[in-house]
A and B are shown apart, each in its own frame.
Chain A
């Protein structure tokens, strides 16, 4: 159990553009044990989705991926052949995407699309695969599962389609499931149901899960570990308790001030905002990427930023506790 299922060290993703190289993801480290849930949080464009696609080997052409290490259950993914990656994808590692409305092929029935992964990876009969599909559709809370198999995606609502996507990802009982903002496109009322479902199924099947989200409320409920991503870097990682109770990086603290917490946020008080915008990542990126928006920024933030590690909790800041001592925090 000590050996992590997924171990990523110094993952870097570069996208060549007309005006120079876009350093979309820069040297991120994280690991994940079996059955654990890691939440990656951050703003749009911080590289969360690219990171997940890089793990699955589904990056678009032209994006350069490099890493010191990126292993899945001992298999080095950076050097794995396309055949090897294909064998892993959909079988031992599966992915749920953001857009349920467009992620299903309009030309095939739900049943055909559900059984596909199982038939690709396992030697099972069509009937057995269909039985498994019905079982999983019921598990994700779809009624009249048997009759759904012959329906087409356009006959289903967004919430139902996302349930189908989840069932599809679970067909081969993956050890790792990556869910990229699985509820963003859904109704608020459906969001909680879908997340609850994912979480329960993950526990039941002892799956490791990477949940990409920008909803910190969700993170607080489901995560074991949290990785906070900003402008292509992991600025802070750690167990969920540490991140919420003792956020160390100024960005993490800023993010947490942006959400109301029951019992902590006083009634009528103003929620925080983080002023400024994410910097451009084209060309050389030096120093702390958050310094342009950071209330604690000093000249030294332009230089090398040390990684501060305390057990599993790590963050990058020139200040040992993420604060400039001379100045008190504006709000707790």
Chain B
């Protein structure tokens, strides 16, 4: 098990370096950063001056090495737009996004897994049909539309919840539901399919033949095996929620990292965009790593991999 973890960790670090290089070089493909910085009215001389000032005239690899060593120390440079250190800018936004992401995935798991299990125990029952309807609706309905409906109903008409902002935990309820509902259908369908498959397997019959009660059969013998693919999916969803919650953040005016990324791209704020891409990628890598470890713990057959 320890050997497996170390192997996966090594792999994760390798992936992290590759991703960091790609994210760094991608920005040079999007156009001349010096020209963008100097502004539309700048003369050729001005652009050259900017290029020298920010060091864009040096070889890309040198710039990458310099950027990476600084980044590893937590220094992502200064935002071109805010004139503030990128790290403190992101740190403040990231806490909002993290809160939202963790709440969202928790909400998704807490609704999807039980619903999937119940649907699998009684396929084609009323509960199964309701679960199917809920998941199809969740997949079909755009987040911004669902978010707006919630605001209209619960904030404006009923007045139960604040429509926007981050001032209290109540502000996070609607964004959590919208973000969680986005991730829920896939998790629910996968849980249902996994449980249906496992429940008809021979080892479940063995468990029953031993005299295990239904609760033990369902949770100890079946769910443990059925949940394995769900773990991998949830990890990817979690990474996606942290990086891709821009829509939800915009609707509810939560100033999170997703929103910052969108703004920074529009403003050509290179250091901020680079830092955000790197951080979002790192989240993906960390979650994938954690999912691998969790899966190896759940399924002994994966430990040799």
- A residues contacting B by CB (< 8 A) are 56, 58, 86-91, 94-95, 97, 99, 102-107, 109, 116-117, 120-121, 152, 154, 165, 168
In the complex the two chains form, is A87's CB within 8 Å of B209's CB?
A: no
Contact partner of B300 (CB less than 8 A), chosen from A86, A97, A152, A165, is: A152
* Distance A332 CA – B147 CA, assembled complex (angstroms): 84
Total B residues in contact with A, Cβ cutoff 8 Å:
19
Q: If the complex has contacts A152-B300, A152-B301, A154-B301, are A105 and B210 also in contact, measured as CB distance less than 8 A?
A: no
Stretch at the interface among B5-13, B137-145, B156-164, B197-205: B197-205
**CA of A120 to CA of B212 in the docked complex: distance in angstroms?**
7
Q: B225 near A106 (CB under 8 angstroms)? A: yes
Q: How many angstroms between the C-alpha atoms of A117 and B209 in the bound complex?
A: 9
- Tell whether B208 is near chain A: CB-to-CB under 8 Å: yes
- Does B263 reach chain A (CB closer than 8 Å)? no
Residues in B167-223 with C-beta less than 8 Å from chain A: 201-203, 205-213, 221
Taking the complex as formed, is B52 at the interface, i.e. its CB lies under 8 A from any CB of chain A?
Answer: no
Question: Which residues of the partner chain B approach A56 to less than 8 Å between Cβ atoms?
Answer: 209
Contact B206 A104 (CB under 8 A): yes
Q: Establish whether residues A105 and B206, one from each chain, have CB atoms under 8 Å apart when the complex forms.
A: yes
Q: Is the CB of B206 within 8 A of A120?
A: no
Taking a contact as CB atoms under 8 Å apart, the answer to whether B202 and A120 are in contact is no
Q: Which residue of A lies closest to B200 (CB)?
A: A60
B207 contacts across to A, CB distance below 8 A: 105, 116
Choose from A89, A102, A109, A152 the contact partner of B209 (Cβ within 8 Å).
A89
Interface residues of B in 263-304 (CB under 8 A from A): 298-301
Q: Can you name the residue of chain A whose Cβ is closest to the Cβ of B122?
A: A61
A87 to B212, CA, bound (A): 9
In contact, B206 and A107 (Cβ under 8 angstroms): no
In the complex, A12 Cα to B60 Cα: how many Å? Answer: 80
* B203 contact from A89, A91, A94, A102, Cβ within 8 A: A102
Count A-B contacts at CB 8 Å.
67
Q: Does B224 contact A (CB under 8 A)?
A: yes
Contact A103 B211 (CB under 8 A): no
Question: Of B202, B210, B212, B225, which is within 8 A of A107 by CB?
Answer: B225
Q: Which residues of A contact B205 (CB under 8 A)?
A: 58, 97, 103
A103 with B300: CB separation less than 8 A: no
Known: A58-B205, A97-B205, A99-B202. A106 touches B210 (CB 8 A): no
B210 touches which of A89, A99, A102 (Cβ 8 Å): A89
B224 touches A107 (CB 8 A): yes
B180 to A: closest C-beta gap in Å? 28
Per-residue interface assignment for chain B, residues 19 to 30, with 1 indicating a CB less than 8 Å from any chain A CB and 0 otherwise: 000000000000
* Chain B residues with CB below 8 A from A89, complex form: 208-211
Report the separation of the CA atoms of residues A303 and B208 in the bound assembly, to the nearest whole angstrom.
Answer: 41
User: Closest approach, in angstroms, between the C-beta of A83 and any C-beta of chain B?
Assistant: 8
Contacts of A117 in B (CB 8 A): 210-211
Closest beta carbon of chain B to A151's beta carbon, Å: 9
Q: Is the CB of A102 within 8 A of B300?
A: no
Residue of A nearest to B205 (CB): A58
Given the known interface contacts A107-B300, A154-B301, the answer about A58 and B212 at a Cβ–Cβ threshold of 8 Å is no
Query: Within 8 Å CB of B213, what residues of A?
Result: 86
A95 vs B221: C-alpha distance when bound (angstroms): 18
A104 and B209 contact, CB distance less than 8 A: no
Q: How far is the CB of A209 from chain B (nearest CB, A)?
A: 15
Binary interface encoding of chain B residues 114-129 relative to chain A, with 1 for a CB under 8 A from any of its CBs, else 0: 0000000000000000
| Contacts beyond the supplied A90-B211, A97-B202: 4 A-B pairs with Cβ under 8 Å | A90-B210, A106-B300, A109-B300, A168-B210
